[in-house]
Amino acid sequence: MPHILQLDVSARPGFAGKDLHGSHSRSLSQRFVSQWLAQRPQDTTTYRDIGQHPPACVSHDLIAASFTPEAQREPWMHETLAESNQLADELIAADILVIGVPMYNFGMPAALKAWIDQVVRPGKTVDIDTSNPADPYTPLLADRPRHAIILSARGGVGFGPGGELEALNHLEPALITALGFMGITQIHQIAIEGQEVGGEVLASSVAQANAAVDALVQQLQQATQAAELAETA
């Protein structure tokens, strides 16, 4: 039974098309999860709004605590790692990670970068073997199939693969790198573009993205059902 972790990253709390200045990325993530649960209500979810409640930024204490072996940590180190442990454990428990995220100034919002810095953790999501400098990293989230769905929103047009502004897109590539480093390599991307343009350009992009979300839900649920049947056969 898949478990979904839904992250919303937008600084805008509402939904596009419903609330004033609502978020397009939140609309996509909500659409994915609601469509999924409509067909599979038995599946479980965890929701975290890091846009409204961002994690703490990386600090000296966090670095010192996370790179200290657990048996040698002092009491203050355990306290320092409490938020990081919770966020990492939520990710570890997830079979499907749904991230609704806008592009801010060509990259990811600071809240998402803070989340990444909290969950990329030695001994939890990646192992580090300093005795093997040629290949020191082992992704710990490659232990079972996991999917990441990146649902993004961009003000301009042409930031997607093959677009004229693709080279300026530092959102999805950086996020995919961090997820892959931990072992999540089955990545699905859907984006809305043209928010700053508006009009038919935006309306068409929203319609295409909504259709793509619906198709992806159907595709992944069919694969999930096939895997479940194979396990019980």
Q: Is 84 annotated as a binding residue?
A: no
Q: Is 103 annotated as a binding residue?
A: yes
Q: Is 159 annotated as a binding residue?
A: no
Q: Please give the pLDDT value at position 166.
A: 96
pLDDT digits (tens, 9 = 90+) for 168-219: 999 999 999 999 999 999 999 999 999 988 999 999 999 999 999 999 999 9
Q: Is 25 annotated as a binding residue?
A: yes
Of all residues in the chain, the percent with pLDDT exceeding 70 is 100
- Burial of 206 (C-beta count, 10 Å sphere; 0-12/13-18/19+): buried
Sorted by sequence, the CB contacts under 8 Å of residue 35 that are 6+ apart come out as: 213, 214, 217
Closest CA to 153 of 209, 111, 115: 209
- Burial of 1 (C-beta count, 10 Å sphere; 0-12/13-18/19+): exposed
pLDDT digits (tens, 9 = 90+) for 141-165: 999 999 999 999 999 999 999 999 9
pTM equals 0.95
Strand, helix or coil for residue 23: strand
Q: Is 78 annotated as a binding residue?
A: no
Give the pLDDT mean for 49-73.
96
Q: At 169, give phi and psi (nearest 5°).
A: -90, 105
Closest CA to 150 of 176, 113, 181, 189: 189
Q: Please give the pLDDT value at position 208.
A: 98
Q: Please give the pLDDT value at position 17.
A: 83
Output the average pLDDT for the chain: 96
Q: Is 34 annotated as a binding residue?
A: no
Q: Please give the pLDDT value at position 20.
A: 83
Q: Is 10 annotated as a binding residue?
A: yes
Domains in the chain, CATH or no CATH each: 3-232 (3.40.50.360)
Q: Is 24 annotated as a binding residue?
A: yes
Residues 55, 87 contacting (CB under 8 angstroms): yes
What H or E segment, with its residue span, contains residue 183?
none
Would you place residue 27 in the very low, low, confident or very high pLDDT band (cuts 50, 70, 90)? Answer: very high
